[in-house]
Amino acid sequence: MDERIKTFKALVDKLGKGRVIWRFDPLILTDRISQEDLLHKIEYIGDRLLGYTEQLVFSFADIVSYRKVKTNLERNGINYHEWTETELS
């Protein structure tokens, strides 16, 4: 992860802060990744990108809409669950 942060900063230095957008998606919940885990990762990266980015783009994984993704997750034994209304707010 630190190498990606270093690369992001190098791109910003070369292209300018407004031209490089931080993406963190899709947000997916599994039996190994909780909402708290995701928020911690976003905070960790955000702290390191402070001053290097103006916006964060994210999306929530919508597994039901993507049958191939659902199949691949299940094939690899990844136990996911869809976001609930409570978790989204």
Name residues of the chain where pLDDT drops below 70.
none
Domains identified in the chain, total number: 1
Instruction: Note down the domain range covering 77.
Output: 2-88
**DSSP run (H or E) holding 81:** strand 80-81
Q: What pTM was computed for the model?
A: 0.85
> Hey, what are 49's tokens?
């990108």
pLDDT for 19 equals 94
What are the residues facing 58 on neighbouring strands? 24
Q: What's the rounded Cα separation, in Å, for the pair 66 and 56?
A: 24
Angle between helices 2-15 and 35-49 (to 10 degrees): 40
Question: Residue 53: helix, strand or coil by DSSP?
Answer: coil
pLDDT for 1 equals 81
